């Protein structure tokens, strides 16, 4: 397996939040939705089955922890969790808090509206909020 490098599109579209034992936690720079992305820090992966058994279990546990944390923090009507990968082939899981009042509801968020980048210190405040909620699990 090759060394881990974050896909350039994820690097461009996201803010880094922190690192779990396996997953790199990112926040999408779109203030329309609480939207976090978990990327396993292993190189050359495009599909879930390519993770070894230990890493797969660990990554799914990290994803579930993120989902529980987001549900507690944001109280969404629905939490969308998906690994799509059509535009960014690097294995990653989207976690998106959805509300009946959000601009794309009930359709998927992809391609509906242009992203609404966070303004001022909004991104840093949300990142810090997530870091505090996950402080016992994040390595940095």
Write down how long the chain is: 140
Say if 57 falls within a structural domain.
Answer: yes
The pLDDT tens digits of the residues spanning 47-98 come to: 999 999 999 999 999 999 999 999 999 999 999 999 998 899 999 999 999 9
The pLDDT tens digits of the residues spanning 111-124 come to: 889 999 999 999 99
SS3 127: helix
Check: CB of residue 79 under 8 Å from CB of residue 95.
yes
Overall number of domains in the chain: 1
Say if 71 falls within a structural domain.
Answer: yes
Say if 139 falls within a structural domain.
Answer: no
Q: Which of 5-9, 88-92, 136-140 has the lowest mean pLDDT?
A: 136-140
Say if 138 falls within a structural domain.
Answer: no
Sign of torsion, CA 53 20 117 125?
positive
The parent domain of residue 43 ranges over 8-102+115-133
Say if 123 falls within a structural domain.
Answer: yes
In this predicted structure, the answer to whether residue 1 has a pLDDT above a threshold of 60 is: no
Say if 15 falls within a structural domain.
Answer: yes
Say if 108 falls within a structural domain.
Answer: no
For the chain, the C-alpha Rg in angstroms (whole number) is 14
The C-alpha torsion from 111 through 31 and 75 to 140, rounded to 10°, is 110
Residue 112: what pLDDT? 87
Say if 90 falls within a structural domain.
Answer: yes
Which CATH number does the domain housing residue 82 bear?
Answer: 3.30.428.10
């Amino acid at each position: 397996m090759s060394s881990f490098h974050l896909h350039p599109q994820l690097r461009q579209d996201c803010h880094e939040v922190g690192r779990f034992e396996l997953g790199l936690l990112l926040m999408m720079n779109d203030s329309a939705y609480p939207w976090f992305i978990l990327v396993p820090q292993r190189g050359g992966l495009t599909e879930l089955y390519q993770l070894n058994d230990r890493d797969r279990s660990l990554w799914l546990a990290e994803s579930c922890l993120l989902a529980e944390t987001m549900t507690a923090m944001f109280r969404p009507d629905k939490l969308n969790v998906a690994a799509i990968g059509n535009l960014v082939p690097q294995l990653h899981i989207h976690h998106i808090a959805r509300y009946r009042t959000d601009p794309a509801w009930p359709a998927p968020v992809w391609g509906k509206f242009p992203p609404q980048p966070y303004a001022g210190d909004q991104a840093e405040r949300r990142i810090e909020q997530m870091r505090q909620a996950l402080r016992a699990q994040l390595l940095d």
